[in-house]
Amino acid sequence: MAISIGLNKVKTAVFISGTGSNLKSLIKFSKTEKSPISVSLIISDNPKAKGLIYGKKFKIKNKVFKFENSGLIENQLINTLKKNQIKLICLAGFMRILSRNFIKKFKGKIINIHPSLLPKYKGLDTHQRALDNNEKYSGCTVHFVNAKLDSGKIILQKKVRIKKKETKNSLGKKILLQEHKLYPKAILKIFNL
Ligand code: GRF
């Protein structure tokens, strides 16, 4: 018999900075019966992030924070997350580095998706770096967030083959498609589902 998680879905915030295609896949997933989470808040550091439009379609609350004065802003952010009873944070193309203090406050409750097979290619421009090194494979990783950039415990990875004529763009598209499948799977895994 299927167990319905129903009203007890874990309130989740998705942090974005841009397109929000992973946000979109997480929202879709959260609407399914098997999902243990509901996306109830979207946080962006960028008022022009396209993902905000998608969130609005689904009437999901959003908040934009200007991270320039980051200490102060992070306190406001923590208050917002608490007020909204957020128990899981999914970083999805969020381009800011969260402080040690913030990460400590939500220890074990922040996860991120990264477009490489970590621990290879932490940081930016992962696809070009993989191509420059003539890698045969690249992929994506969902991991817990700790104080070191892209270094927390790995939850799940998906490998993709790099073809001979692969470009940064073709590789990026191929990996992004896999990201959309991997993030929901990783969430099921952390809930032991
Ligand atoms: C993804 O490739 C993600 O892995 C990286 O930033 C990109 C965000 O894409 N961290 P989107 O905004 O989810 O479309």
User: pLDDT tens across 79-94, in order?
Assistant: 999 999 999 999 999 9
- Does residue 174 belong to any structural domain of this protein? yes
CATH code assigned at 130? 3.40.50.170
Q: How confident is the model at residue 57 (pLDDT cuts 50, 70, 90)?
A: very high
What are the φ/ψ torsions at residue 152 (nearest 5 degrees)? -70, 170
- pLDDT value at residue 78: 96
Q: Burial level of 35, CB count in 10 A (0-12/13-18/19+)?
A: buried
Where residue 27 falls (left for φ over 0; alpha for ψ -120 to 50; beta otherwise) is: alpha
d(C-alpha 81, C-alpha 49), whole Å = 20
Annotated active-site residue 127? The verdict is: no
- pLDDT value at residue 7: 61
pLDDT at 1 over 80: no
| Ligand 1 neighbourhood includes 89 CB (under 6 angstroms) | no
- Does residue 1 belong to any structural domain of this protein? no
Number of domains in the chain: 1
Domain that holds residue 147: 10-190
Q: What is the mean pLDDT of residues 118-134?
A: 98
- Does residue 5 belong to any structural domain of this protein? no
| Ligand 1 neighbourhood includes 74 CB (under 6 angstroms) | no
| Ligand 1 neighbourhood includes 176 CB (under 6 angstroms) | yes
What pTM was estimated for this model as a whole?
Answer: 0.95
Distance 93 CA to ligand 1 centre (A): 4
- pLDDT value at residue 68: 83
CA quadruple 98, 12, 157, 46: dihedral sign: negative
